[in-house]
A = this chain, B = another copy of it.
């Protein structure tokens, strides 16, 4: 396999973006990424998106977006893996370049969720669960996570307020990220008093939906020198694993086995230990997912994820900084775009371009995008 690098990034601010259509959002991120990379075109573009068919009555995003950014006739199609759709587009672009099929590929994640009523979006998000075993019973996605969190607290003796630091850290970091949806710090009290959604998950445990797009440009590593591009970041691992969608169908619903599997493969590919990761953009759709992801990736013992938050290990200056630009919680979670935001943010960090969010001396960064409640895991490791 030929080595591949990211030479350009672009993103829009996550918000309720009523004045931009889905293709305009995606186009803005793609054009930013192309300008940043200094390329005027590409061979292929892969679109990560979950719900445009229902939320925007528009499928077939490939040619729509390729045409919109002036690249009619290029290769273009969509990839979908629920909330890990973004990283699936990135992985497809990586394989396209690594296979020698193409030389310049773009991956873009885009989602436009705020044009539809919240009830419709909640129903659409539930299509990421198993329809026959979960969806048909009316279980929403937050309810599924609440079941996991209830059991986790019971098994390991945690109380709800112990999860506050995941949210507090994310919001504190988002203050310095101009692309974050909520650029406002919160306190322990705000966390504890926020509105309950599905016990024990309250608003401050949960990531907000939003509209947004993030994109990168990928090229073969051995073609970079001749372009004299100084800002490239290498992809040193790309690993994927799935699990059964239904939580009740897992042997251990409190352990993200697919996340562990993808992480171990990724460490192996990169030939590094977890301790060498300088920052970790995990999938904090809910605080419980942040805890489980830290454990599955080898940063905490089983059942001890919240300890890292309580001890300050997840802060920018901590042992394993997470949600460094706000995470899903405060940057926002436009579902199909999230995996691409994670990657764009790690590239920003490794370049040293993260301003007030900057992790000092960041050389190796990891992303982990999760689809479903741990049923589709796409992990990447990057280095400068």
Enumerate chain A interface residues (CB-CB to B < 8 A). Answer: 1, 21, 44, 50-51, 53-54, 56-64, 66-67, 72-82, 84-85, 88, 92, 94-96, 98-101, 124, 127-132, 135, 238, 240-245, 249, 257-258, 261, 371-372, 375-376
Contacts and interface: CB of A to CB of B under 8 A. Distances in A.
A327 to B, nearest CB: 22
21 contacts: A1-B100, A1-B101, A53-B54, A57-B127, A58-B127, A58-B135, A59-B80, A60-B245, A67-B245, A72-B243, A72-B244, A73-B242, A74-B241, A75-B240, A75-B242, A76-B81, A76-B242, A77-B81, A78-B81, A99-B99, A99-B100
B77 A80 contact: yes
A84 to B, nearest CB: 8
B51 A257 contact: no
- How many copies the complex holds: the figure is 2
Contacts of A56: 131
B73 A243 contact: yes
A99 B92 CA distance: 11
A60 B135 contact: no
A258 B62 CA distance: 13
Contacts of A249: 67
Nearest to A261: B73
A242 B53 contact: no
Contact of A241 (B58, B75, B95, B129): B75
Q: Is the interface of A mostly helix, strand, loop or mixed?
A: mixed
B59 A128 contact: yes
Contact of A53 (B63, B88, B127): B127
A369 to B, nearest CB: 11
Nearest to A96: B95
B72 A242 contact: yes
Given A78-B79, A78-B81, A99-B100, 11 more contacts: A51-B53, A53-B54, A58-B127, A58-B130, A60-B245, A62-B242, A67-B243, A67-B245, A77-B79, A77-B88, A94-B99
A363 B230 CA distance: 48
Nearest to A49: B80
Contact of A92 (B57, B67, B92, B132): B92
Contacts of A98: 95, 99-101
A63 B1 contact: no
Interface centre among A54, A129, A240, A241, by most B CB within 10 Å? A240
